[in-house]
């Protein structure tokens, strides 16, 4: 009898281990979908007092304070959907939730940031959160200005990068691609951090990988755009999308760049630094 109890115990433990392994594999395989579901539920809970409208491709949540600004946000969002979709050659698989926050503190609070953190828009796990244009635009400003200078195009590109790579990307890559596509579709580009005559400088890409948010943001964003433009100029714009496709297959960024550009990552990296020094 003790032997039977022992065998039953082993069988139970084995079944538990198989169950744990199965759940782990499911979570790993579908981690992006699970994360998006969780974030969507969090948004639903935290915005129960918000109003909501539906456009062709979005669910837009907003407070009564911003009722007059919703059409502007909706128009810019749909414009981004069309223009960015044409560049990527595909569209998101699901509708996207946009939340319009009435002020910077409420937007920061939605992420648990310090209340002094400033941002016009943030993409996170299938959703886009934006600061109300009421906070930085005049009542007479046009939708064209919001479309060009606002966050919708930039954040929608982040969504597309996330979709294609299945969440397998680092910060400098998605910021570089977002600026590249935004510049191409709207003409908007951040001012160079060296425009006032400062000595040009740059970070090693390994530093951008590890510490993007701790670096000088103007230089980090500028260098990310330079990297995207360098890839497009040296390998053709399609190289950007080939790299993202390989990221979606689980490859690391260095490996994806090597396979797409046809050189070792180290060689590509050194050539990129030479490009920065030559052109700046």
pLDDT digits (tens, 9 = 90+) for 18-32: 455 444 444 455 677
Confidence label for 148 from pLDDT (cuts 50, 70 and 90): very high
Please write down the HEC assignment for all residues of the chain.
CHHHHHHHHHHHHHHHHHHHHHHHHHHHHCHHHHHHHHHHHHHHHHCCCCEEEECCCEEEEECHHHHHHHHHHHHHHHHHHHHHHHHHCCCCCCCEEEEEECCHHHHHHCCCCCCCCCCCEEEECCEEEEECHHHCCCCCCCHHHHHHHCCHHHHHHHHHHHHHHCCCCCHHHHHHHHHHHHHHHHCCCCCCCCCCCCCCCCCCHHHHHHHHHHCCHHHHHHHHHHHHHHHHHHHCCHHHHHHHHHHHCCCCHHHHHHHHHCCCHHHHHHHHHHHHHHHC
Q: What is the residue-averaged pLDDT of the chain?
A: 89
Judged against a pLDDT cut of 90, whether residue 1 lies above it is answered with: no
Judged against a pLDDT cut of 70, whether residue 161 lies above it is answered with: yes
Question: What pLDDT does residue 85 have?
Answer: 96
Q: In this predicted model, what pLDDT tens digit does every residue of 79-116 receive, in sequence order? A: 999 999 999 999 999 999 999 999 999 999 888 776 55
Question: What pLDDT does residue 16 have?
Answer: 59
Beta strands 127-131; 121-124: pairing state: antiparallel
Q: In this predicted model, what pLDDT tens digit does every residue of 192-221 receive, in sequence order? A: 999 877 888 999 999 999 999 999 999 999
Judged against a pLDDT cut of 80, whether residue 280 lies above it is answered with: no
Interval 234-248 mean pLDDT: 97
Question: What pLDDT does residue 6 have?
Answer: 33
For Cα atoms 264, 266, 268, give the angle at the middle one, nearest 5 degrees: 70
Q: Which CATH architecture has domain 28-166?
A: 2-Layer Sandwich (3.30)
Cα separations (Å) of 63 from 101, 119, 206, 249? Answer: 8, 18, 42, 40
The answer to whether 188 and 268 have CB atoms below 8 angstroms apart is: no
Interval 219-244 mean pLDDT: 97
Question: What pLDDT does residue 19 have?
Answer: 54
Domain ranges of the chain: 28-166, 168-280
Question: What pLDDT does residue 87 have?
Answer: 97
Judged against a pLDDT cut of 70, whether residue 263 lies above it is answered with: yes
Question: What pLDDT does residue 112 have?
Answer: 77
């Amino acid at each position: 009898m003790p032997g039977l109890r022992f065998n039953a115990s082993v069988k139970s433990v084995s079944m538990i281990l198989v169950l744990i392994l199965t759940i782990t594999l499911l979570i790993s395989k579908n981690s992006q979908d699970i994360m998006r579901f969780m974030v969507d539920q969090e948004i639903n809970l935290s915005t129960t007092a918000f109003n909501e409208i539906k456009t062709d491709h979005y669910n837009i949540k907003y407070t009564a304070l911003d009722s007059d600004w919703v059409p502007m946000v909706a128009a810019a969002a749909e414009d981004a959907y069309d223009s960015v979709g044409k560049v990527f050659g595909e569209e998101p698989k699901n509708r996207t939730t946009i939340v319009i926050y009435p002020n910077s503190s409420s937007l920061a609070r939605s992420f648990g940031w310090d209340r002094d953190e400033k941002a016009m828009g943030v993409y996170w796990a299938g959703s886009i959160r934006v600061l109300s244009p009421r906070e930085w635009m005049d009542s007479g400003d046009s939708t064209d200005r919001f479309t060009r200078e606002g966050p919708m195009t930039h954040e929608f590109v982040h969504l597309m990068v996330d979709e294609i790579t299945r969440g397998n990307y680092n910060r400098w890559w998605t910021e570089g691609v977002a600026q590249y596509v935004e510049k191409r579709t709207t003409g908007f580009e951040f001012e160079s951090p060296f425009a006032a005559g400062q000595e040009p400088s740059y970070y090693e890409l390994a530093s951008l990988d590890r510490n993007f948010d701790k670096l000088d943001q103007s230089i980090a964003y500028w260098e990310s755009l330079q990297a995207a433009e360098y890839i497009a100029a040296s390998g053709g714009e399609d190289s950007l999308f080939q790299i993202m496709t390989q990221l979606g297959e689980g490859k690391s960024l260095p490996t994806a760049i090597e396979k797409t550009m046809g050189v070792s990552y180290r060689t590509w990296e050194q050539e990129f630094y030479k490009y920065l020094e030559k052109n700046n």
